[in-house]
Amino acid sequence: MYVTISVLILIVSFLMMLVVLVQNSKGGGLASNFSSHNQILGVRKTTDFLEKATWTLAVLLVLFCLASSVAIPKGGVQGAGKADTKMRNQIENAMTTPMEVPADAEAAE
C-alpha cells in the first residue's frame, strides 16, 4: 500500500512539474502557441485547463501525502531487532534500578 501511494506521489509530482512548466507566468504559455491555429480550444480555454489541472494535481499530491503518512509501515528494521532489544533492555534497567554509587566515591565526599 505504501509503495503504491509513493509511486502515485511520484507520478503526480512529475505531471504537476510538466503542467507548471507549460504555463506562462503572464497567462500565455501553451495557449499562445496555438492561438491562431486552434479555434476549438482558444487562449482562455487552454489557460483555464492548465490552471484546473494544476489545482487538481496539487490537491491530489496533498491527499496522497496525507495517505502515505497513514500507510507508513510501523515495524522497525528487521536486521536491527537484536541490537534494538538489547538497547531497550539497558534503558529499562537503568530507569528501574537506582544508580549504585561506588564505596570510594562516598568516602571521598
- Which pLDDT tens digits describe the chain residue by residue (109 residues)? 888 999 999 999 999 999 988 887 665 555 555 555 544 555 556 678 888 999 999 999 999 999 998 888 776 555 555 667 888 877 777 766 566 656 665 555 5
User: What per-residue confidence (pLDDT) applies to 25?
Assistant: 66
How many Å apart are CA 55 and CA 58, to the nearest integer? 5
The phi, psi pair for 54, rounded to 5°, reads -65, -45
In a domain, 103, yes or no: no
In a domain, 24, yes or no: yes
User: What per-residue confidence (pLDDT) applies to 59?
Assistant: 95
User: What per-residue confidence (pLDDT) applies to 2?
Assistant: 85
Look at the chain and report how many structural domains it folds into. Answer: 1
In a domain, 92, yes or no: yes
pTM (predicted TM-score): 0.52
In a domain, 109, yes or no: no
In sequence order, which residues have a C-beta less than 8 Å from that of residue 46 and are 6 or more positions away?
Answer: 29, 30, 31, 34, 38
**CA-based torsion, 13, 15, 17, 20: positive or negative:** negative
Host domain of residue 57: 2-98
